[in-house]
Structure 1
Amino acid sequence: MFDTPPSVMWWNGRLVPWAAATVHVTSEVATRGTNVFEGLRAYWQPGERRHAVVHLDAHLERLAQSARLIRLPEAATAEHIALLRTGVGELVRAIGAAQDLYLRPTLYIEQGRYGWRPEKVKLGSYIAGYPADPTPTRPMDCIVSSWRRTPDTAVSPLIKVGAAYQAFRLPRIEAEVQGADEAILLNTRDTVAETGGAAVFLVRSGTVVTPPLADGVLDSITRRTVIGLLRTSIGLPVIERSIPRSELYIADEAFLCGTLDEVRAIGTIDGLSMAAAPGPVTAAVRDAYLAACREGKDGGPASLHLIDTLEAHRATA
């Protein structure tokens, strides 16, 4: 998906050719990775010939939260986020692809070394958009990484900041070297946190379990949606609690969820097979999630609450 760059992107308030969106190699974003970003999906609706952007408002709210937590100037942040909101529709129309898209709205510091004072900082923003490949349905092979999720007192998992994602580089290489698809990270207390891009869920005796935010988990919007679907549409209890490593190996089912992964079954962890992959709960929540994203429904009246921006923001292709 990311191998071939599109011809156009949105940059600082306007559409530009892909190659024209550049910053200097000594900028803060290039030198220290000082940027906050979001990843979101625009689902193509062939019957209505338009894209449905999932949870745009929630993603932009979280972008503002990330910006606040790394002390980006508030007034400039608000101005850029207002532009980004409009820019999403402009970019989707410009790409003009009759397929799902992955969008990455980003705020970055171009000038201002470790800057936070408004008069000393120059912010920039962009949205990159890519045709989204279909998510594989094959269950994933995972390992538990030897690397740890960064704690809140180092780089908070609540901040989607580019520099923090270097902490996922070595776990992903570790997984690839071992022939696995993804690495599950533990936190510094040796309980389960998340992967480099998705929340972890287990199913045990009809109850769904997932780590709480305090265990080193991004406040994932997909995670929130899946919890809601499990409780209201599928009718299963969901408990947010710490998960010791060994519990991964005795779960009835396990799955990941995130913007890119959507909902994807885990088939093995450290070479041990899950009892079912995909199991009935994983299959049901995946179907409900995709129906909510593509059609604005989940079999019940709560669908537009769960996927609120399907009603509030539809970018016409």
Structure 2
Amino acid sequence: MDAISEKPVCYVNGQLVPEGTGAVSALDRGLLLGDGLFETMRVLGGGILQWQRHWERLHSGAQTIRLALPWTADELHQAVGQTLHANNLCEATVRLTVTRGFSPAARGLLPPADAPPTLLIRATPFAPYPDHLYRDGMRVIISRKVRRNEQSPLSRVKSLNYLDNILARQEAAEKSADEALMLNTRDSMACATAANVFCAHAGRLRTPPVADGALPGTIRALVREDLAPSLGRVVDETQLDESALLNSDEVFLTNALMGIMPVCAIDGRPLSTGAPGPVTRGLRAAYERWFVQQKTKKEGR
């Protein structure tokens, strides 16, 4: 096990190096072309929450973009653990990035046949979302400038190219909103810039399907497969248009860092009472119970 560093370090291709050093080649395809994938993970009690789901999404994404991963799930898990230990972190956010690696030609789109991928892992102290957002809800907009291309295979992977998401988030900031929701090319709801979206109407839970451009999120899967069933609820994957969302009783967002986040208003229009509703509150309570269980397991109690 590597020694604990006094200054932040990151993991680059098997080595722990100080953050901010020029450790990645200027000819790396991740830098030049956005040719790669990433996972953002929550670490609790020194352990990665939902590691298996993160690994499966990374592996599936690599197959989609035809990037051969030379590491096993266990090897990547160990590399993350090494990075956490070196930074003396137990409660953290981990960003794991894989690129297609060094391209000696520096031009052209076709990847070299034998370039080894680049692996970067960065761990930072976990910074929670503000409490008032969970209490009062997020204010979101529906982006009018960006559409998510549900017909592209990239809508189903966490690609390094996040420019559409960045543009939509800038649009939200310009309108004093916390997040932006994105429609797809068929005017159906896809997702938020950094989260999946759910809605509840008359107690019925719905979320856009992956075929409509929704990223297969890890907390999305947890809600659908574990939390909602534990409360006797079923989540329907179904096409949602803008009207269906605006007329919902409740809307909430999910991702690996925020967990379950209520939405209080869309495009300046309050949802129902303008406060987190009973379905969202119930799911948040179920998530908190699950979270405590995971923490107990990670800490070995």
| Common topology (TM > 0.5) | yes
TM-fit CA distance, 1:80:
6.8
1:106 pairs with 82, 97, 104, which one? Answer: 97
- String of CA shifts for 1:110-161, please: whole Å, max 9, x gaps: 3235344542x23110111111112224210000001344324435211111
1:51-70 equivalent positions in 2, closer than 5 A: 51-70=46-65
Taking the aligned partners of 2:256 and 2:128, their CA distance within structure 1 comes to 12
Taking the aligned partners of 2:61 and 2:213, their CA distance within structure 1 comes to 15
Secondary structure at the residue paired with 2:56?
helix
TM-fit CA distance, 1:285:
1.0
CA contact (8 A) 1:36 1:67 kept: yes
CA pair 252-213 structure 1, distance change in 2 beyond 3 A: same
1:163-178 equivalent positions in 2, closer than 5 A: 163=161, 165-178=162-175
TM-fit CA distance, 1:88:
1.3
Query: Are 1:22 and 2:18 an aligned pair?
Result: no
Taking the aligned partners of 1:21 and 1:181, their CA distance within structure 2 comes to 33
- Which residue in the other structure is 1:162 paired with? 160
Query: Are 1:132 and 2:94 an aligned pair?
Result: no
- Which residue in the other structure is 2:267 paired with? 270
1:77-92 equivalent positions in 2, closer than 5 A: 77-79=69-71, 82-92=74-84
- Which residue in the other structure is 1:43 paired with? 44
| 79-88 vs 259-268, greater mean Cα deviation | 79-88
The alignment yields a C-alpha RMSD, in angstroms, of 2.2
- String of CA shifts for 1:81-120, please: whole Å, max 9, x gaps: 553221111122222235x21111111123235344542x
Taking the aligned partners of 2:183 and 2:147, their CA distance within structure 1 comes to 6
Secondary structure at the residue paired with 2:37?
strand
TM-fit CA distance, 1:39:
0.9
Taking the aligned partners of 2:52 and 2:22, their CA distance within structure 1 comes to 25
CA contact (8 A) 1:229 1:289 kept: no
Taking the aligned partners of 2:24 and 2:83, their CA distance within structure 1 comes to 20
CA contact (8 A) 1:42 1:102 kept: yes
CA contact (8 A) 2:252 2:260 kept: yes
CA contact (8 A) 1:11 1:21 kept: no
- Which residue in the other structure is 2:4 paired with? none
- Which residue in the other structure is 1:218 paired with? 215
TM-score normalised by L of structure 1:
0.83
- String of CA shifts for 1:266-302, please: whole Å, max 9, x gaps: 01001110114211111121122132133239xxxxx
CA pair 80-126 structure 1, distance change in 2 beyond 3 A: farther
Unaligned runs of 5+ in 2: 1-6
CA pair 315-34 structure 1, distance change in 2 beyond 3 A: farther
- Which residue in the other structure is 1:304 paired with? none
Secondary structure at the residue paired with 1:89?
helix
CA contact (8 A) 1:71 1:116 kept: no
1:196-235 equivalent positions in 2, closer than 5 A: 196-235=193-232
Unaligned runs of 5+ in 1: 1-5, 45-50, 298-309
Structure scoring higher RCO (CA < 8 A, sep ≥ 6) equals: 1
Taking the aligned partners of 2:78 and 2:123, their CA distance within structure 1 comes to 14
TM-fit CA distance, 1:240:
1.0
Aligned-partner residue type, residue 124 of structure 2? Y
Aligned-partner residue type, residue 276 of structure 2? P
CA pair 69-235 structure 1, distance change in 2 beyond 3 A: same
1:219-298 equivalent positions in 2, closer than 5 A: 219-276=216-273, 277-296=275-294
Aligned-partner residue type, residue 257 of structure 2? L
